[in-house]
Amino acid sequence: KRRYDQSTHATQPKQYPVQSIMSTAEEERAKQDEKYGFRAPEENRRVWKPSPHQDTSFQGVSAMDFAIRQRRQEKERREKEAAAKASMYRYQGKANEDVESQVRKQQHDREKSAKAKERETLAQLKDVTITESVEGNVRKEQFGQEKKWKQEGRDTRDALKDVIVTESIEGNIRKEQFGQEQ
């Protein structure tokens, strides 16, 4: 019997240089890109659609028709799942954020910055003293005129409270006309 030297037959792992692995992965990616026409993974799936006659065809009650309907429902369910899975590839951002929450976050940040700016402006304006201006003087003058006009109206009403309205010529004419009409 022949003895084998264990050292010659022991399998040792092959040592691959790191660059050759990287170039192999890049080559594989390039092949895949060419194979799928340089499209994103979610666009490379085959979309199932029912044939046009299936929507309008008569669906009977036999076991075969039932099996066909079940098969179609199963295909529709699988297609729905595949579409959802493919749309996940397209997702940009964190898993717990969607587009609406990102938009809301941007709006919130905008509002926060606007409010902070407003607070800062108000804090800076506390030291400002307001002096007389042409516009302020004009408004003051107009207010005085309006106040004077209203007071004159009140005084006139108070003066006319004591006036007794007696018969007038116009009132007598109307009485005569009323009498003639009857």
Q: Which residue has the tokens 């065809």?
A: 57
Compute the mean pLDDT over every residue in the chain, rounded to the nearest whole number.
77
Backbone dihedral angles phi then psi of residue 128, each to the nearest 5 degrees: -80, 135
* pLDDT of 137 higher than 60: yes
Distances (CA, A) of 43 to 31, 36, 80, 89: 17, 9, 15, 10
**At a CB cut-off of 8 Å and minimum separation 6, what does 78 contact?**
48
Tell the burial category of 119 from Cβ atoms under 10 Å away from its Cβ (0-12, 13-18, 19+). exposed
The rounded distance, in Å, linking the Cα atoms of 129 and 113 is 27
Q: Categorize the per-residue pLDDT at 1 as very low, low, confident or very high, splitting at 50, 70 and 90.
A: very low
The rounded distance, in Å, linking the Cα atoms of 169 and 163 is 17
Read off the pLDDT of residues 9-48 as tens digits, 9 standing for 90 and up: 555 555 555 455 556 767 777 777 777 666 666 677 778 7
pTM strictly above 0.85: no
Read off the pLDDT of residues 107-131 as tens digits, 9 standing for 90 and up: 999 999 999 999 999 888 888 777 7
Decide which of 9 and 138 is more confident: 138
pLDDT of residue 65: 84
Averaged pLDDT, 41-61: 72
List the alpha helices (DSSP H) in 126-168.
134-160
Distances (CA, A) of 134 to 9, 90, 96: 107, 63, 59
Decide which of 173 and 138 is more confident: 138
